[in-house]
Amino acid sequence: MALPLAALLSLGAAQPTAPARPVCTPPQPELAELSGLATDGQQWFAVSDGGQRLEVFVLDPATCAIDDVITADVNPYDVEDLALGSDGALWLADTGDNDRDRETVALHRLTPEGEATLFRLVYPDGPHDAEALLLDRAGVPHIVTKEVLGPAAVYRPEGPLRAPGPTSLQRVASVRLGPTDTPGGPAGEVGSALVTGAAMSGDGSVLALRTYSDAYLYAVPDGDVVAALGRAPVRIALPGEPQGEAVALAPDGTLLSGSEGGVPIRAMPAATAPLSSQPAPHAVDTPDRAQGESATGDDGFVPWPAAALTAALATIVVAFGVRRRRS
C-alpha cells in the first residue's frame, strides 16, 4: 500500500526556520500548567489545565506580566485549549477526558466582558480525550483528539451550536503525526505523535497542530480545514519542552510555543513563510483511503517496536494518572 505524500513529509526532516527565541516565562503558579495560547498580535491569551472557574490570563507579550484576567463563575471539567474568534470572543475547549468516561464535552464562549455561554457536545462513537481546538474562517469549531493508538480524529458539529445543547459531533477527518526523534515531552517517541494543541491564524489561512515535540503547519487557502489536513504539512521541531501543549500563530507569521513546567514561551519568527513557497496545495488521495479521511491518516503509520510502545504507554500512565479530573 503506497504511503501518501503528506504522511511522508510529516515524518521527514523538520523545516529549517529562524531560531526559536525564548521570550518570557508565564506567571507561576497561575500558568504552571499552561495548556492553551492565542494572540491577536497585541496581547497574548493563556489558559491553564483544569481549574475550578473559567479564567483566561491576558499577558504582556514582552514580559508575560498579567495585564488582565477574563473570568466567569463557571466550573469547567478540564479545559485543555483556547481559540480566539474573529469577534474577539475566546473559546475554551473543555474537552479533556483522561479516563474517557464523559458523556459530553463542552466549549465555553467567553467575551472580553466575562459573559460565558456553554455549548455541550457529544461524540458519535463514544468518549475521547482531546486537547486541541481549531476555529475555521467561518467560526466553526473543530476538535482534534489525542490518541495513543491510531490516528487523531477530527470532529466538528453536525449543525449550528445550541446552548447549552448537547450538539452532536461528526467525524470529518483523521490525521497521524510522527513519530519523530525530536527530544522533549513526557513520553519520548510516542509523545511525538500525540496531538496536544492547535491554532489557527487570524485570517484563517494557516493552521497548526502540535505534539509534545513538534509543530505541523498546514496551508488553508480556501478556509477548508478538512481539505487542508489532507495536504503536506511543514514540520517545525520544538525540542526540549517538558510538556508542550500550547501553540499560537501571530498575524506576522510567528509561531508561539509554550509548555507546562515554568519554562519560557518561545517565538519562531516567519514560521509560516515556507508554506508560501510550496506548490499550489492539493489533496493527496489514495484508493484505500476512506472518504473524509486526511491523507495523513492510517496509511502513514510507522509502528513502534512492541517493547518501546509498552514502555512508552507505561510512562504515559504514570505521567497522566495523577492528573485525573473529577467526575
Please provide the DSSP assignment of 193-222 as one string. Answer: TS--EEEE-TTSSEEEEE-SSEEEEEE-TT
Q: Which residue has the cell 509523545?
A: 191
CA distance 153 to 170: 10
Phi, psi of 134, deg, nearest 5: -120, 135
Predicted local distance difference test score (pLDDT) of residue 102: 97
* Separation of alpha carbons 84 and 105, rounded Å: 19
* Distance, CA of 252 to CA of 131 (rounded, Å): 25
Name the nearest CA neighbour of 10 among 240, 182, 164: 182
Residue among 116, 35, 112 at smallest CA distance from 75:
116
Residue 186 and residue 170: Cα distance in Å, rounded?
31
Cis peptide before 179 (omega within 30 of 0): yes
The domain locations on the chain are 5-321
The H or E element that residue 174 is part of is strand 167-175
Task: Please state, in angstroms and rounded to a whole number, the distance separating the CA atoms of residues 93 and 110.
Answer: 11
Say if pTM beats, i.e. exceeds, 0.95.
no
Please state, in angstroms and rounded to a whole number, the distance separating the CA atoms of residues 259 and 36.
Answer: 9
Cβ(83)–Cβ(134) under 8 Å?
yes
> Is domain 5-321 given the CATH code 2.120.10 in the classification?
yes
Predicted confidence at residue 9, as pLDDT, reads 38
* Concatenated DSSP letters of 148-171: SSS-EEEEEESSS--SS--EEEEE
CA 264 from chain center: how many Å?
19
List the pLDDT tens digit at each of the 327 positions of the chain. 232 333 333 444 566 566 789 999 999 999 999 999 999 999 999 999 978 899 999 999 999 999 999 999 999 999 999 999 999 999 999 999 999 999 999 999 999 999 999 999 999 999 999 999 999 999 999 999 999 989 999 999 999 999 999 999 999 999 999 999 999 999 889 999 999 999 999 999 999 999 999 999 999 999 999 999 999 999 999 999 999 999 999 999 999 999 999 999 999 999 999 998 665 544 333 223 333 344 443 333 344 444 444 445 444 544 444 444 433
Q: Indicate the burial class of 7 (C-beta count within 10 angstroms; 0-12, 13-18, 19 or more).
A: buried
pLDDT of amino acid 306: 43
